Structure 1
Amino acid sequence: MTRWLQGNAPDSHAALRAGASLAAITALEGDLGIRIPADLRALSRLTAGDKGVDGGGCLPGNQALMSLHEVADFYREQLDSQAHQDTLNARRPEYDRITVWKPAWIPVVPYGPADRTSGLYVDAATGYLGRWSRYNEGSGDERDTLVTYLEDVADMLEAPALATRDKPGLVGGALVWGSRLDSVQEERWQPLTG
């Protein structure tokens, strides 16, 4: 993906943060209190997040990768929210209890570079991606790992005619996915073909 971005969407490539050091990843593990799965470790070494271009990241739905700092901050916020729910859950019947966040969930892909209303997390216990949403949207039927998700995205860039999740295109030098075009982008968006 990074090679494709470099050759075809230089603005999106420039928005990728430099890879994290092993020390930074180890520090994140200490901060979260869990082991970072190997696939997320490898991705973080390659790029430690996506700053986005014009409010959109380089992943389907114009979602973006979180920086390690953002991962730690959001994780703590979610655990604090779950602690509050646990207090309320103590008075609720079991069928009515709310789970906002589990300690094994590591956030990786928010809705947008500055939008944390929903997104994807890696479940460190299972290795699968899951979806969080402030609005209790469904998680969907797909059971991807981070690797299969990123391979699927790379395949959509190489063979856009086969894209099933979203349709990739370009606005100038930025990768922009068709599902979340705004009115300004819509006029300039050039869908990828192939």
Structure 2
Amino acid sequence: MAVRPARPSLYISVDIEADGPIPGPYSMISFGAAVAGRQDGAVYTAADPERQTFYRELRPISDRYVDAALAVSGLDRARLLREGADPAAAMAEFRAWVREVSAGAQPVMCGYPASFDWTFLYWYLIEFGDDSPFGHSGCLDMKTLYAAKARVPLRAAVKGRMPRELRSQRRHTHHALDDAVEQAELMSNLMLWQPEADAL
């Protein structure tokens, strides 16, 4: 019996900013997404990470927040309470965007590291609409991808130790869309990287 070929994957870099360590008690206050590239079988094609993007700032969902976490993004919580997007509306718009840009492929969220961003993103998608276009596990961690390719311990998989050619030349600003675009470039560089076996 022939094995059916897997559907192509569309990798979407996502970065979130939050006002605390976990979703529910704390809030995702902004998130950005950028299409990184498409994988069809063994072939990966990088995308222009500025061409297909999504960004929203969200109204906080609780009264709790951690000053240090809030300070990372520099976003004004009082302004977000007045002007931030309704989370349910933002998640509905995001689902529609993901499905539009990934038509004909399976969308995969990717992040560096993905664990924090995926926790918030998936929780919000389920809490505000009970539907994730990524399924429950459509997530790729770039930190793990680098560690596996470079054959280094996970704790050693830090950007500062990566070969210069892998790293994006964009600044990491802690603006969710800026950082999603930066990480999209890193994702494509990692996917296309073929480290020399004797250099590892």
Which structure has more relative contact order (CA 8 Å, sep 6+)? It is: 2
TM-score normalised over the length of structure 2: 0.25
| Structure with the larger strand share | 2
